[in-house]
Amino acid sequence: MQQRIKAVLRLREMILDGELAAGSRLSEPMLAELIQVSRTPVRVALVQLEHEGLLELLPGGGYRIRVFAEKDIFDAIELRGTYEGLCARYAAESGASALELERLAGHIAGIDEVLESDQLSEGDFLRYMEINQQLHDCVIDMAHSPMLAEAMNRIVTLPFASPSAFVLVHAEIPESRHVLTIAQHQHHSLYEAIADGEGSRAEAIAREHARSAKRNLQIVLRQQDAMDRVPGLQLIKRG
């Protein structure tokens, strides 16, 4: 593998997993030593992660691991929802093909299956997360807009959006089942809106879906020890 890609992947991983202290300054020689590459690929990785929003460039030069305020994260989720709403609108208004609708329905049915379990296991959470990701990607694809798909990747990488974090979050909160059921209702509504070509409704549902995610995060953040257990949350400064 190319050193440059190795550096980006490893550095991102180290930041999100908390191997590097949130807010700390990063020195190129240190990272080069940790990742076992020279300073050049490290430098490229730093530039890239700064654009992704995980690092900030210091005035005097050098980089620091960014610390997010709670509001930053909520705004980022709102933004993501707005953006997905636009994709949903495009998907509905561009006239989805039968094949695409079938794929979308397939993902939703997959989640229905997962939720049939009486007691949700860790594996169930992982599977939900996996299908959920595919479902959202599917809606983005259905917008048929390379520009929108690309812009999605430019939005700040949400620091807690890893599968393992998802599992931990849902394994911890008692409302988990309720929360996922509501989300799935929204998925069904979204499908109908897109299938019926109702752009405005599809957009509204996608945005509301993101607002639900915001509320869920709030529940998690209220638990005092969440930060210690959920990878990524250490990047959020408690308000």
Contact residues: DNA, CB under 7 A: 2-4, 25-30, 37-41, 43-44, 58, 60-63
| Spatial CB neighbours of 79, under 8 Å, sequence gap ≥ 6 | 155
Which stretch in 71-79, 160-168, 179-187, 191-199 sits in contact with a copy of itself by CB under 8 A?
71-79
Q: How far apart are CA 206 and CA 199, in angstroms?
A: 11
Q: Does 44 bind a copy of itself (CB under 8 A)?
A: yes
Q: Which amino acid is at 228?
A: D
Q: Is residue 150 close enough to count as binding a copy of itself by CB under 8 A? A: yes
How far apart, in whole angstroms, are the C-alpha atoms of residue 123 and residue 111? 13
CB of 48 to a copy of itself, least distance (A): 6
Which of a copy of itself, DNA, none interacts with 206 (beta carbon under 5 to 8 A by kind)?
Answer: none
For residue 159, the partner it binds in DNA, a copy of itself, none, with Cβ less than 5 to 8 A by kind, is none
Instruction: State how far the Cα of 197 lies from the Cα of 123, in Å rounded to an integer.
Output: 35
Q: Which tokens in the block code for residue 53?
A: 């929003």
Please give the radius of gyration of the chain, using alpha carbons only, rounded to the nearest integer. Answer: 19
Contact 221, 238 (CB under 8 A): yes
Interface residues toward a copy of itself, by CB under 8 A = 43-44, 47-48, 51, 53, 71-72, 75-76, 78-79, 82-83, 85-86, 145-148, 150-151, 154-156
